[in-house]
Amino acid sequence: MPELDEDNQSVSDAFIDEPTFSQDYITAMSHFYRGEIGRIMVWRQRLDTTTTWAITSTCTIFTVAFSFREVPHLIFFFNLAIVLMMLWIEARRYRFYDAFRARVRMLEAHFIVPVLMRQEPKLEGNWRKLVAEDLLVPAFKVSMFESIGRRLKRNYAFITIIILTAWITKIFIHPPAGIEKITSFETLYNGLAIGGLASWFVAMVMVGTFLSVIGITLYIAKHSSGEITEVGKSSRTTWMS
């Protein structure tokens, strides 16, 4: 057989060393890791469910609003309320998902990596104690505000902006009674009034929602690291396809 050069020999020796952990420990931790993966997948599916509800209700309301002239633009107020309620529910679910995902990341960084590299843990620190404490007394890793911001950034900012755009479009296409056509900002403002709701109230809801959504999304995008880094922003070696 051909002889290995020194570099190849050193690489081979590095991967035939004795395992860093005992076999029993690896087996137990592997089952623990698999269980945590299953748990975060369940919560991930719950996040998809609330997003689907938000999109489905929005599409249904859009169909009704633009198909019938008699339907007032007030219907988009309820559309917005439904979506914001879904956002609140999803943000709460995301906090649970993130708490369990943090355990998985802890295992991947401090257990899987040393086993994979066949090297002593380099980032071990106090991770066993932290995971044990989290199992005994589970705790959220992100605040409700940050959770809402992350879900806005991922999905709900786009859904909300589309609803507000459709709301204005509905007023242009089907002006309220007493207004034949929207020809100026004044007629648009007057067209916002519907039933017992004054124009200023509807305008405040629209502008307040838009500014809040954009403000929270930009703040979280700037101050939160998120779940995963973008390609090229880390120091990892290039992945080859």
In-domain check, residue 191: yes
In a domain, 232, yes or no: no
Q: Provide the token pair at 84.
A: 């914001």
Letter for the amino acid at 29? M
- Answer whether 82's CB lies under 8 Å from 88's CB: no
**What is the spatial distance between Cα 139 and Cα 135, in angstroms, rounded to a whole number?**
9
Largest CA distance in the chain: 94
pLDDT tens-place string over residues 220-236 = 988 877 666 666 555 55
Write down the pTM of the prediction.
Answer: 0.81
| Domain extent for 74 | 7-223
> In this structure, is residue 240 part of a structural domain?
no
Pure H helices in the chain: 6-14, 23-67, 75-107, 113-117, 127-136, 144-151, 157-173, 185-191, 199-223
Provide the number of structural domains found in the chain.
Answer: 1
Residues of the chain with pLDDT under 70: 1-21, 121-123, 226-241
- Residue 231 within a domain: no
Tell me the pLDDT tens digit for each residue of 130-148.
889 999 999 999 999 999 9
Domain assignment of residue 2, yes or no? no
